[in-house]
Amino acid sequence: MKLLPLTTFFLSLLCHQVFSQKVTDVRLNQVGFYPGSPKLAVVVGEEKGPFVIKDLKNNKVVYKGELGAKRTSQHSGKTTRIADFSEFTKTGKYKIEVPSLGQSGTFEIKGNILKPVAIAALKGFYYQRASTALPEKYAGKWAREAGHADNKVLIHASAVSEARPENHAISSTKGWYDAGDYNKYIVNSGITMGTLLSLYEDYPAYFETFNADIPESNDAIPDLLDEVIWNLRWMLTMQDPSDGGVYHKLTNPQFDGMVMPDKATKPRYVVQKSTAATLDFVSVMAQSARVFKAFENKLPGLADSCATAAVKAWQWSKKNPELIYDQDAMNKEFEPKIVTGTYGDKNVADEWIWAGSEMYALTGKKDYLDGVDLQLDKPLALPGWNQVKTLGYYTILRASGKLKPEGNLAEKITEILLSYTNGLVTDLEKQPYHTAMGKSARDYAWGSSSVAANQGIALLYAYRITKRPEFLHAAMGNLDYLLGRNATGYSFLTGFGTKQVMHPHHRISIADGVAEPIPGLLSGGPNPGQQDKCTTYPNKFADESFTDHDCSYASNEIAINWNAPMVYLAAVVDALMSETK
Ligand code: 9MR
Ligand code: 9MR
């Protein structure tokens, strides 16, 4: 008799554990779907179904379906089956249940369902702003003091020029913190800005009514561009006025501790100039010059300043066509030694393609492409901080109507793009999560979430050109991946989903004393490299190698170059799905 309560206790503990583990075995986009979205959930394990959808209002079954055929993951060998409920279009809040197995997180079906996702992901950049306080009015419980004024940044010994000797102080305020750390890196700003500016150029109308509730929200410039300007102003300060070259980064010698920005007060430096940084700068300035021309009366002179900066940086690059940032070599020669993120790109052929394309699109002068190998005989390369040629391709495609490039340049680029995206949409019905993301184990590199998002963008360009629905649907599938339809069961965007990332490697989220991390930040995602050596990874399967622990900078950091394609993907899917509603 006496033992009974204890047995019951253990039994209920056991049940609870089994139940809470199984809950996550029914996986789907934990935010939800447009009425017209394809709607898939993935059931992990040997369970054969059927599945039901229950209305959260009254727990009544509103839809019944059968699970699809068995699929086997190429990464873990695990079994999955698809629950396809695309034909269910009724707005409301629901969960999926596989009676003998468990339930999914909750989700919603409604118009504009992903707009809050796009807005939060853009607002994530606001939370990354350096050199400013974030008042409660905009930052809510994540309000914080100003950090990193960066108005007295020192010239590192590697970066001296005649007018700027060692330890000379320059002002290099504003910009976004790169990631979980507080440094500001030009190379990574390059792709980030390129992605956000392209989003504006591709879908300007959508941003007329897109309010991220930032201090500039009422200023008659789209919030997307207001946010971009915060980093643009910083980037402009990173050019040495004497020769047009651009410093590779602005950084502490060593990473700060896990403290709030206002407590991180160690000296900061700009280090040597590099061709990768300078060409990325050219691209961003040329694209900004184009975009801000239309806002001349609100931002007098900005477009011209950007154009001038772009030309000067281009000229420097012509004189220094391959000056690689080699941090180890630099540290052998100069003090203090710099050990923060390197972004040490050893091949700048792709930076030349991007910069040449942006200058061409800005000026209409084809000579900017002369002498640049456009690599038209090579396959598409997915954009990443060290691979930017495709950003140039996107710009040529966008500008081709206006500029009419000679020969068949736009046709050729279209061919390269479609050959890549046709590959992405092939054999989806064999994939364990029915996503383009993860077909190849190589997709799971450091920052794999940005691979999913950038594949999504490529698919959206392909959709724009061909109007073939499978491209749009595969882009949406990758968005579903990011929001929970994946082998970890997590939604990778902080603040969203029933199984949220709570402990990103992000100094502000760690140090601010608020339980929830800063919202709208995209976690890096699975990375079997496990370079952080955290001991909390569940296993080494490529698609599961993720740990929601703040030790994990290799799988659970956040970064601006990952957030930008998230903004793009969510915003464009919302723009397109709201049109078709
Ligand atoms: O916090 C740093 C993170 O932003 C970087 O991505 C990562 C890799 O460069 O490094 C992190 O800093 C760690 C450092 O490399 C080693 N010591 C512990 C630091 C904090 O975890
Ligand atoms: O995103 C970068 C990844 O591709 C590299 O493999 C990794 C190691 O060099 O660095 C990542 O970038 C980090 C940067 O160096 C410092 N800030 C945090 C970035 C994201 O982890």
| 553 Cα–ligand 1 center, Å | 6
Which residues touch 297 (CB under 8 Å, ≥6 apart)?
none
Residue with the bigger pLDDT between 579 and 62: it is: 62
Among 128, 185, 188, 531, name the best residue to mutate to test ligand 2's pocket (greatest count of ligand atoms within 8 A of Cβ). Answer: 188
Cis peptide before 50 (omega within 30 of 0): yes
| Residue 11: pLDDT over 90 | no
CB 251 within 8 A of CB 269: yes
pLDDT of residue 22: 38
pLDDT for res 102:
87
| Cα separation, 197 vs 564, whole angstroms | 10
Would you state the structure tokens that stand for residue 517, as one six-digit string? 């991390």
Ligand closest to CA 255: 1
Q: Are 281 and 239 spatial neighbours (Cβ–Cβ below 8 Å)?
A: yes
Rounded to the nearest whole angstrom, what is the distance from the C-alpha of residue 175 to the centroid of ligand 2? 18
- For the chain, the average pLDDT equals 95
Residue of minimum CA distance from atom 13 in ligand 1: 255
Q: What percent of the chain has pLDDT over 70?
A: 96
Query: What are 74's two structure tokens?
Result: 């190429």
Q: Considering every ligand atom, which ligand is closest to the CA of 450?
A: 2
Q: Distance between CA atoms of 485 and 19, rounded to whole angstroms?
A: 19
- Residue type at 218 in one-letter notation: N
pTM value is 0.96
Atom 4 (ligand 1) nearest CA: 181
Q: What is the pLDDT of residue 100?
A: 80
506 is catalytic: no
Whether the CB of 121 sits within 6 Å of ligand 1 = no
Domain locations along the chain: 130-345, 347-427
Residue nearest to atom 1 of ligand 1 (CA): 181
Kindly name the residue from 434, 505, 532, 544 that is annotated as catalytic: 505
Of the candidates 84, 104, 71, 75, the residue with the CA atom closest to the CA atom of residue 432: 71
Distance from residue 158's CA to the centre of ligand 1 (Å): 23
Annotated active-site residue 557? The verdict is: yes
Has 505 been annotated as catalytic? Answer: yes
Any idea which residue has 């450091």 for tokens?
Answer: 446
- Domain 130-345: CATH class, spelled out: mainly alpha
Nearest to 566 by CA among 498, 496, 502: 496
- pLDDT tens-place string over residues 219-242: 999 999 999 999 999 999 999 999
181 lines ligand 1 (CB under 6 A): yes
Any idea which ligand is nearest the CA of 451? Answer: 2
Give the Cα separation of 499 and 214 in Å (integer): 27
- Distance from Cα 424 to the centre of ligand 2, integer Å: 26
CB 96 within 8 A of CB 52: yes
Q: What is the pLDDT of residues 511-552, one digit of tens each?
A: 999 999 999 999 999 999 999 999 999 999 999 999 999 999
Q: Which DSSP category does 263 fall into? A: G
Return all residues near 402 (Cβ < 8 A) that are at least 6 apart.
none
Average pLDDT of span 125-137: 98
* Res 407: pLDDT: 75
Q: Which letter, b or e, does each residue of 541-551 get, where b requires 16 or more Cβ atoms within 10 Å of its Cβ?
A: bbbbbbbbbbe
Q: What is the pLDDT of residues 385-394, one digit of tens each?
A: 999 999 999 9
Answer whether 478's CB lies under 8 Å from 569's CB.
yes
CA distance 304 to 309: 8
Number of residues in the chain: 581
